[in-house]
Every structure is written in C-alpha cells, then in structure tokens.
Amino acid sequence: MQLPFFLNLFWWKQRLSHLFKKPSSPLTTLYKNLDLRLVNHVRSGGMPSWAQMRHFSEFLSAREKKHLRICLLIITLSVFVISGNYLWTHHTIKPARGGEYTEGIIGTPNFINPLFSSLNPVDADLTKLTYSGLFHFDENLVLKPALAERYEIDKDGKTYRIFLKKDLKWSDGEPLTADDAGFTIERIQDTDAHSPLILLFQNVSFDKINDQEFTLTLKDAYAPFINFLTVGIIPQHVWQEITPANTRLSTTNLKPVGSGPYMVQTLSKDETGVIRSYTLKPNDNFSGDAPFIKKLTFKFFPDFTSAFDALKTRQINGLGHIPFADLKKINTKTNSVFSFETSQYTALFFNPSTQPILKDKKIRTALLNALNRGALVQNIFGAHANSINGPLLEELFGFKPTTDTAALYNIQSANQLFADAGWKKISQEERAEGGQENQLSAWVKKNPQPALPRRATAKQKAMFEEQFSAWQKHKEDAQTKIAEDAKKTAPPSQLFFLQKNNAILALTITVPRQDEYQKAADAIAEAWRTVGVEVRIETVESNRIRTDVLKDKKYDVLLYSVILANDGDPYPLWHSSQIKSGGLNLSVFSNKQSDDLLVKARAATSFDDRRSFYQKFQAILNEEIPAVFLYSPHYLYAMQSDVRGVPQTRLYTNDDRFNTTTSWFTKTRWGLKQ
C-alpha cells in the first residue's frame, strides 16, 4: 500500500534538505538522491523495516543529527516533567504494615477479662485490644457490627436476634460460635462469678438457634440494651472447666484467649512478680481489618510522674489522661496531643437534704446567675473542655441546645434574687462581730456555765470557784479560736455577707484533691463571694471520696464529674431511685414527671420518641436547677508524631481511644490516589 506522506523517508529528506541546505557538489547531490530513490523504491509499498531504520542516521548530516538529539532531549524532559507533575499531584502517603508502638499506663493489670475489666482502667485498655464484642463503636462512636454480622429487633423491643459472621475463630484457632455468646452471658449472670456486669444482663435470656444465630430476650423493653452488647465475648472452651467462683482467681485472666485485633505475645515481671509490661501482636484470626502496627507494648508505671518522665525521654511513644496542668510540659515538636471530647461532665451538685438553704429555688438560681461559666472554662482549660448548660452533652442521644451560658451570667439578677429571698447585706465587720457572738453563744449552750448550789457548803463553794475559773478559761480560749477562724473564713476580698434571721448564708464546696477541681473550686468560691455568700472549700482525697462523701451524700455542694452511659442515658444520675445510699443521684433530685420521662425513654423503641422524652427531661432540670452544669473536660492523649491514623474525636470511656487501633500506623508507602 502507499505510505502516508509524513511516513515517507524520501519526503522527509527532501524537506529537511531545504531547511538545512548547505553547499555541495552536483555529483554528491546526485549520488545522495540516487541512494534515497533506491531505498524508497525497495520499500515503496510499506513501512521501513527495522534493519533499514538502523541506517537512518546515515542519511542525516552532522547538523541534522544535532538537531534530532536536541528534539529527543526536549521530548524526554517533557515526558519526565509531565510524569513527575502527575505523580506529585496524584500521589498519597499510604500506611504500610510494620513498626512498633509503646504506651505507658499508670497502674497494673488484674483481670484482662471482659467480665471484670470495667473495675480497672488498665484491664479495660488491654481487654479492648484482645477481645471483641458482638458490636463495637467506630471513630464517631456509631455502633457497628463486630462479631455480629447483623441483628433484628422484634416490634415489642424485647427480643434481639443476632446473626454471627461466618468462620469466626479465637486467637488460638478454635471456632467461635453462638455457644460462646451464651456461655458469656451465663457466666455474667452467675452470682458466684461476681461480675459487675450482672445488673446489665440479669433479666436477659439466651436461646440458641444454630451455631451462627441466637436470640436475647429481655423481661422489659430497654432501648439502651444494644449498647451493652459491646462487652467482649469469652471462649467457652477455655473457661468451662473453671468454676464461676474461681473465675477471678484463674491465671487465664492474665493470659487471655480472645478475638480482638491483637493477642498477647509476651509479658514480663519484676523480681517481686509484679507485671511490668505486656507485648501484643496482631491476631491472625481477627474478623475485622488487620492492624498495621505489628507490635504493641504496654509499660506499667506506679504514678503519673514516672510515666510522664518516660514520655519525655522517649522510653514510651504515648501516654493518656494527661492533666491539663502538665500539657505545657509536652514537647509538641516531637509529640502530637489529641484532645478527645468525652461523655463526662462536671457540675456543682446541690444537696438540700444536708443544707436546707438550698431548698429555695431563688437561692439556687442566684448561685447559677453569679457564675460566668464560659469564662471559668476558658481560663482554666482553654480549648480542652466544653462549657455546658444541661445534663445532655452535644452529639449524644437527645441533645438539644439550651440558652447560652453567657446569657445566664447576671450579677444584678443574683443580688436581686437573694434580696427577694429575704437575705440582707452586712459588712465584714458586722459579720465578724455577729458571727463570733453566735458561735460563742453556741459554745456556751454546748458547754454551760457551772452552777452553784443554793445552800452550798464552803467546800462546794471552793469547788465551784475552781470549776468556774476553768470554764472561764475555756470560754476565753474558744473566743480566741472563733476570732482566728473568722479571719480565715472571711477573705479580705469579700466586701459583704448575707444574713437572714441572724444566720449567715454560708456554703461548703466539697471537691476531690485534684488540680483541675481545685482551680475550678477557687474560681467558683471567688464568684459566689462577690455576691455575699460565705464559701469554704473542703478537699477530699480522690480515693476516699466515694466512701467518705458520695455514699451517704455528706456535702452541701459537690464539685464532681460523672460519666454518662454509652448513649447518654441520664437515668442512673437523675432518677429518684438512685438517691439511696450508693446511688449516683448526687443532687438528691426527686421529680415525678422527670422520673416518668426517664422510664419512658428507656422503654421507647422509636428514636424520635426517646429524643423527645430526653429533651422534656432536660427542660425540667433547667427549670428546677438541682445543679449547675459547668463543663465537659477533654481526654488529652500524647503520642509521638510518627504515629498516625488516629481519627478518634470523642470517647465514651477512656479505653475507647483504642477503637481505631487497626488504622494506626508508623510505616508508610507511596501510592496513587483512587
């Protein structure tokens, strides 16, 4: 066939010869044209062969060869630049498998077992990584299937049908079936096992359908129940030979066989037998995405100071629960600090059963109006806490924004409310005089003056004089102490006090001995003093506050933090049934309408119905003011900057920071964007 003109070598040669024409003899031109015609004649019907193409350069002059080389160089550079630009604009850093991560934890493990891990934060951390529940929370705290593939709920809201994933296995290779789920619930329900989860599952019955299907039936509909199924499943083949009474005593608690993303590789102990570290490796039988990091090590420290020193000297890569006061000590050039929102909130809980003054709603409202909560949070925590104004937190179930906290701060309103309630202002001098007189009168009433019999003998008179002299001395000592105490309890900054029926409006704020609580208590006390309230701060050791303070609710005002349930259910904190000893209704709040709403919300099967009930409940609390809601603190987590892929933004519990461990990575590779 006839070649196109632009593939014809003779045509190109002619054109190029015109462009780069140079003087030559007629004979040279003749021979050259003759060679070209001969070549063209031989291959006139098709493309040049490879053998002929190899002689292409013989037909080019030196100048033509130079130009050709320049063109090829330009083409090559263009291809290189275009390709490089494409790779640069379309490349991405992708995680690669490998690497190690070491975290410091304060405390020591006792039971790496889902049945008991809620008792110890260290156990909860390790259990989260080595066990799987039927469901789990993702990085957005959305409930997702884990061992379960899907589930169905009957219309009455009482029966849950669970479908397990196929071919599930334990870390030791044994099959994981519905029998294991049933065994776990049975062991939790056994009173001899003493699991703290027994109250969550006491009215649940298990029925096996087959190895991959079973039902859980509740006595009464309970909407939050599905969240309890994040509890890890334990292997029947490991625990069935261990009696319920010996469950806590078994060494298997420290050598878990689970179904989580990691499994125990080694543990090390010191010479006294105390566990100092655990090393975990990926569980090849994990049903989810395989983790990128190949080795996790947890080192245990007796206190925060030693753990923090290990972080600073890079003995560990990460440390959680950093106190706000120590945040500035972290080297941000080598460490990343994650500030996770939590389901915990801190409030001032009023206790009218101990302090009758707080029964008056005007007093509670005035105390609320006297606090600039937004400024308090900003000054103490900066961006690492959220100012709140209700019992339901943002993004948790039922949350509804209420009036801005700044709008509720009103000193004039606070002063007027105190006046309306009958409290009058008195000066510091009047407070000192009147307060000391009242206290001295109380002392005299408790320690009455000795009386002289009517017909006293000389001996009795002498004894009376001796007793009176001693009593007079004790009275003077008491008066001196009262005066000294008055100076301590009346800060110079407090210009006036509030008095009603010769009584001073005085409150005691009880707080755990922690830096954050202490700073908040000082700020609150200063704010209340500016409106005339006499404030004392009572500090209690953190490890004693539950037994010494919370159990019998021995406080006027309690500054304390509580943690909401997984879906924000406020029942345990505000239902009147929780007022009894040991209950967590810290404001001793009782309201029939509120109780009814909390019960209905638990039984509601409709999301919209639950939200409506909770919002009405919140409106009641905002109206009655049984507490002043202050802030929700963040969980501060420091990690070396080479640890990436940590998308978590919110935690229900501290161990939720491991919800996304499978996406963490320290090694990387290049790849193209999808």
Quick one: pLDDT at residue 31?
53
Nearest-5° Cα angle at 142, 139 to 146: 85
Give the H/E segment covering residue 630: strand 627-633
- The single residue listed with the structure tokens 């078994």 is 250
Q: Is residue 520 part of a domain?
A: yes
E runs forming strands in 193-234: 204-210, 213-218
pLDDT in the model for residue 406: 47
Question: Does 469 fall in a domain?
Answer: no
Instruction: Please check whether residue 250 lies inside any domain of the structure.
Output: yes
User: Is residue 329 in some structural domain?
Assistant: no
Write down which residue in 34, 58, 91 finishes a domain. Answer: 91
246: closest CA among 187, 206, 181?
187
Residues 250 and 178 in one domain: yes
* 324 is a domain residue: no
- Give the pLDDT score at 512: 94
Q: Do 438 and 519 fall within a single domain? A: no
Distance CA 109, CA 124 (A): 9
Number of domains observed in the structure of the chain: 4
Q: What is the pLDDT of residue 433?
A: 65
538, 628: one domain: yes
Q: Give the pLDDT score at 53.
A: 65
Q: Do residue 146 and residue 262 come from a single domain?
A: yes
Specify whether 138 is located in the same domain as 85.
no
Q: End of a domain among 91, 111, 137? A: 91
- Residue 597 lies inside a defined structural domain of this protein: yes
Amino acid (one-letter) located at 207: D
Co-location of 491 and 375 in the same domain = no
Shared domain check, 401 and 546:
yes
Residue among 302, 263, 300 nearest 279 (CA): 263
**What is the pLDDT, as a whole number, of residue 448?**
85
Q: Distance (Å, rounded) from C-alpha 468 to C-alpha 449?
A: 7
Residue 279 lies in a domain: yes
Roughly what angle, to the nearest 10 degrees, separates helices 592-603 and 607-624? Answer: 160
Is residue 402 within 8 Å of residue 390, measured between CB atoms?
yes
Indicate whether 404 and 430 sit together in one domain. no
Nearest residue to 360 via CA among 509, 505, 529: 505
211 with 298, same domain: the answer is yes
> 51 lies in which domain range?
5-91
First-last CA distance in the chain: 45
Specify whether 192 is located in the same domain as 241: yes
Q: Specify if 194 maps to a domain.
A: yes
Answer yes or no: do 593 and 625 share one domain: yes
Q: List the CATH number of the domain containing 274.
A: 3.40.190.10
| Residue ranges of the chain with per-residue pLDDT less than 70 | 1-59, 90-91, 395-407, 433-438, 485-493, 671-674
Are 519 and 482 contained in the same domain? Answer: no
At residue 5, the pLDDT reads 46
Secondary structure (DSSP) of 651-663? ESSGGGGGTTGGG
> In terms of C-beta density within 10 A (0-12 exposed, 13-18 middle, 19 or more buried), how is residue 129 classed?
buried
Phi, psi of 55, deg, nearest 5: -95, 10
Residue 527 is which amino acid?
A: A
